[in-house]
Amino acid sequence: MTVRIYHNPRCSKSRQTLKLIEDNNASAEIVEYLKTPPDAKTLGKLLDMLGLQPRDLMRKKETEYKESGADNPDLSRDQLIALMIEYPKLIERPIVVNNGKAVIGRPPERVLDIL
């Protein structure tokens, strides 16, 4: 079984989630999303799988949230997705995908629901 994780190796929750995946005998396809952000189609699909709107997947305490204008309530779904691609630090982490299901690994144990 291969599980995809949108991962930030500097984030402790992301590292803990990756360890849980590996401890459950799953191989992980690691996508370092800060280096390689998902494209608009992929991000839209992830949002649908998570059942979230773009702003729900954003890290609102990041400096980039306000600086990028992501705090503007008039922005459309497509505009918010574009901002997450341009400023990938805005994307909540880690996102784990397996067998057509996705979860955010906060807390890391949530990943167990889809393994």
Query: Do 38 and 6 contact (CB within 8 A), yes or no?
Result: yes
Write out the E strands in 46-99.
Answer: 95-98
DSSP-based three-state secondary structure for 87: coil
Whether 11 is catalytic is yes
Of the listed 11, 34, 82, 85, which one is catalytic?
A: 11
What single-letter amino acid sits at 103? V
Residues annotated as catalytic are: 11
